[in-house]
Amino acid sequence: MSTARERYRALFDRGSSTDRIEFFSDAVFAIAMTLLVLEIAVPDVPAAEVGPALVDLVPEFFAYVLSFAIIGFNWITHRRKFAVMTGFDSRLIQLNLVLLLLVAFAPFPTALLSESDPSTPAVALYAATVGGMSLAQYGLWAHARRAGLLAPSVDSGIYRLVRRSLLVTVVAFALSIVVALIDPVIAMLSWILLWPASVIAGRVRVRE
């Protein structure tokens, strides 16, 4: 006869519907993206000085657009993954919470990046946060594969293609942390190369 612990795990550790995980995740993504704009303060200046004040806010606007795009991209990636998942287990939930932890934290390094001149700590923290998101996404994808939670339509080629795309982002932001130790501005500019790098990685032939 199985123990109560074994019956408990069999009853609650796995399931076939990921709806509640997706709804909860969507809410966290939406709240994090909304909080980003709250970091941009409306200039409290006379009407004649609004123009120059808006120019001074360019770093805040840049950080907002950058983080909105990054969180939005992570939401799209997250949605695609769960669209091909046939169920969940406790480890998948834990990995998903790690991802949401980083998503919810993102407004802080965004504000730090926008409220000061580019500095090594600010750039490194931002890169670590974004790279951590992709690493958590990679963990979700890899675990779902190992645990048999992916739909049969996800063959080895598709699995490797997604995995490689995620690793490109992790490596790119990890390298930018190293560059930030030398020049934080160059490290920030290196993030622009992530898009073409991802495109190239997606077009390289995946070995079946």
Whether residue 2 lies inside any domain: the answer is no
Q: pLDDT exceeding 70 applies to what percent of the chain?
A: 90
Whether residue 8 lies inside any domain: the answer is no
Q: Could you tell me which of 103, 136, 125 has the C-alpha nearest to residue 180? A: 125
Whether residue 10 lies inside any domain: the answer is no
Q: Where do the H-state alpha helices sit in the chain?
A: 4-12, 19-38, 50-56, 58-83, 90-105, 107-114, 120-146, 156-180, 184-190, 194-203
pTM strictly above 0.75: yes
Structural domain count, the chain? 1
Position 198 confidence tier, pLDDT thresholds 50, 70, 90: low
- What pLDDT score was predicted for residue 23? 96
- What pLDDT score was predicted for residue 208? 46
Position 154 confidence tier, pLDDT thresholds 50, 70, 90: very high
The pLDDT of 168-172, averaged and rounded, is 91
Whether residue 82 lies inside any domain: the answer is yes
Whether residue 3 lies inside any domain: the answer is no
- What pLDDT score was predicted for residue 202? 60
Whether residue 9 lies inside any domain: the answer is no
Alpha-carbon gap, residue 97 to 176, rounded angstroms:
25
Domain of residue 136: give its range: 15-203
